[in-house]
Structure 1
C-alpha cells in the first residue's frame, strides 16, 4: 500500500501498550512529512479494559476523530477487540490482527462465551479486503521481552505500508527507554518479517 492520507484505528486491552503504539504511529506520520493527530477514545487505565485510539495522517488534519466506516487499517491487539470494531473499517479497508486471546471479565466469570475462531474469521473476511495476522506475544518472547508485543505489531503494520523501516525504528527509539531500544528493534523486525497476509 502506498503511503498517502491514512486513517488508523488501534484497539486492544489495557496493559497491551496500545496507546504507546499510537504515540509511535503518530510520531512516524510527522517524520514522514504528514500532519498527524491522534485521539484516545475509550481509555481504561486498568488491565483488562478496552482501549481504543485513532491516528490520522494527512496534509492537514482538522480532527483526530475518524468517522465510522472511514478507517483504512484497523489494528487489533486482541481478536475480540477486532470483532467489536469491524464496523469502523471502510469498504476495502485492511485488518491487522494480533493472534493473542485475552478473555474479558464476563467470559472469565462464565457470563459470556468467547466467540469461536471460525466465526470470527468469517466476520473478518466479510468486513476487510485483506486480513493480516501476527503472533505478537510469541514474537515478542523470541525478541526477549513479552512487553514488546506492541512493537511487534507495529513491525507487522510497517510491512503493509510503503515506508522505510528506519523511519519506524527512529520513532520507536524516541518513545522507549534507552535500555529497551535494542529489544524493541528486534521485536519490530520480527513483526515486519513474520506477518501472515491472507489473500
Structure 2
C-alpha cells in the first residue's frame, strides 16, 4: 500500500532538504519512492511543497486532492492552503510559526488569525513549536530536521538508520545538532 506525505512551507525553511533526506531514508529501507517538489517563488519567501510517496510499487509522484496520509506544515498558513490534499482520516503536523507573505506585507491580505483552530476543527492536528525547540538547541536552522523527526515518528519509520542518512548528507560540523533535532522532533508527536 502506497503512503503519501505532503510537506509544505515557505522558501528558505528547509522543506526540500527535509524531503530529500526522507526520500533517501525510504529508498535505503527498500521502498519504491517518488518525490516531486514545487518551488513557487521559493527564493522570495513563496510557497514550497514537496510530495513524497512510498510503498512496494509507486505509480505516480503526485498526491491527488484528498490523498495525503499526513500533511506536515513548516508554517501554519501553508497548512490551511494545502488542507484539501489530506485524506479524511489523515493527520496534520503543523509548526506554530508565521511567515508573512508578500500580499500580507504589502497590506493586500491579512494573515489568518485562527489558523491552528481551523486546522483542529477540520483534521486530527498536532501543533508543535519547532522554532522554539530549534532555539533551545542553539540553531534555528534545524527546525526542518525537527519537523522531519515528527514525520518519522508519525509514519512509524523509526527502524530506518536515520543517523547514517544524516551523516551521509549533512556537513560534519552539523551532524550532532541535527541528530539531536531529529530526536526532538520524534518526541513531539
TM-score category by the smaller chain? Answer: over 0.9
Name the structure 2 match of 1:91.
Answer: 88
Which of 98, 123, 134 is the matching residue for 2:128? 134
CA contact under 8 A between 1:158 and 1:165: conserved in structure 2? no
Long gaps (5+) in structure 1: none
Q: What secondary structure sits across from 1:20 in the alignment?
A: helix
CA contact under 8 A between 1:148 and 1:184: conserved in structure 2? yes
Describe the shift of the 1:191–1:80 C-alpha distance in structure 2 as closer, same or farther (beyond 3 A): same
CA contact under 8 A between 1:87 and 1:127: conserved in structure 2? no
Q: What secondary structure sits across from 2:18 in the alignment?
A: helix
Long gaps (5+) in structure 2: none
Tell me the matched-pair count.
189
What is the TM-score of this pair, normalised by structure 2? 0.92
State the 1:164 CA deviation: 2.0
Name the structure 2 match of 1:62.
Answer: 59
Q: Distance in 1 between matches of 2:141 and 2:70?
A: 23
Q: Distance in 2 between matches of 1:90 and 1:189?
A: 27
Name the structure 1 match of 2:10.
Answer: 13
State the 1:73 CA deviation: 0.4
Name the structure 2 match of 1:123.
Answer: 118
CA contact under 8 A between 1:8 and 1:56: conserved in structure 2? yes
Alpha-carbon RMSD: 1.6
State the 1:43 CA deviation: 4.1
Mapping for residues 12-91 of structure 1, pairs under 5 Å: 12-91=9-88
Which of 148, 156, 173 is the matching residue for 1:179? 173
Q: Distance in 1 between matches of 2:23 and 2:87?
A: 20
CA contact under 8 A between 1:77 and 1:153: conserved in structure 2? yes
